[in-house]
């Protein structure tokens, strides 16, 4: 009787471990499917040629690069942020808590930079037009902040894409 009890206990323990493993596999399989679909959607709405880094690399080849390069890069950054933020709101739950916090932190940094651009720009409109020294310093600040925002959006794009790629890679093993 004791021997049967020990065997039954070991079998029960193995069955519990097997059930846990099966549940974990099912969860990972569903997560992989969700990540794969989310990544495919991301590539569809924001293909690599529309990524900010790709756009910036190709800007100098345009005729009016000197006049419009910064504004085109800023507009592309703005559009890409909207696309990725929307995607994150829809599919962010597929990322781990730490990964979500990393994305939220980058979004907050970009929002803070954007707010400072707006504040400086509003200050430019308030300044006395005759005071060119203050105006030039503020314009330089705006340009610096715009470049900072473009770089942060590029970093955000790279981080966001890599999080999906790395998660897919981990789960596919």
55: domain range? 2-172
CB under 8 Å to 31, separation ≥6 — which residues? 94, 171
**Measured distance CA(115)–CA(44) in Å, rounded:** 30
CA atoms within 13 Å, Cβ hemisphere of 57: 8
Between CA 44 and CA 170 the distance in angstroms is 22
* Span 37-96, pLDDT tens digits: 999 999 999 988 888 887 777 766 665 555 667 788 888 899 999 999 999 999 999 999
Q: pTM of this prediction?
A: 0.75
Six-digit token string for 56: 């910036």
Q: Which H or E run contains 13?
A: helix 2-45
Taking the CB of residue 20, how many other CB atoms lie within 10 A of it?
10
pLDDT digits (tens, 9 = 90+) for 112-158: 999 998 888 777 655 545 555 666 667 788 888 988 999 999 999 99
Domain count, the chain: 1
Burial class (CB in 10 A: 0-12, 13-18, 19+), 64: exposed
């Amino acid at each position: 009787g004791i021997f049967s009890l020990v065997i039954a206990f070991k079998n029960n323990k193995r069955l519990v471990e097997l059930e846990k493993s099966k549940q974990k596999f099912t969860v990972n399989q569903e997560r992989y499917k969700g990540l794969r679909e989310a990544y495919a959607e991301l590539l569809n709405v924001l293909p690599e040629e529309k990524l900010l880094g790709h756009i910036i690399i190709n800007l100098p080849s345009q005729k009016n690069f000197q006049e419009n390069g910064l504004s085109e890069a800023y507009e592309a950054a703005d559009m890409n942020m909207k696309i990725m933020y929307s995607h994150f709101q829809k599919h962010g739950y597929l990322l781990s808590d730490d990964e979500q916090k990393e994305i939220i932190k980058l979004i907050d940094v970009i929002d803070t930079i954007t707010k400072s651009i707006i504040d400086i720009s509003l200050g430019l409109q308030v300044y006395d037009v005759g005071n060119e020294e203050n105006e030039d310093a503020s314009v330089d600040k705006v340009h610096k902040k715009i470049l900072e925002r473009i770089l942060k959006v590029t970093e955000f794009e790279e981080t966001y894409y890599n999080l999906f790629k790395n998660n897919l890679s981990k789960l596919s093993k």
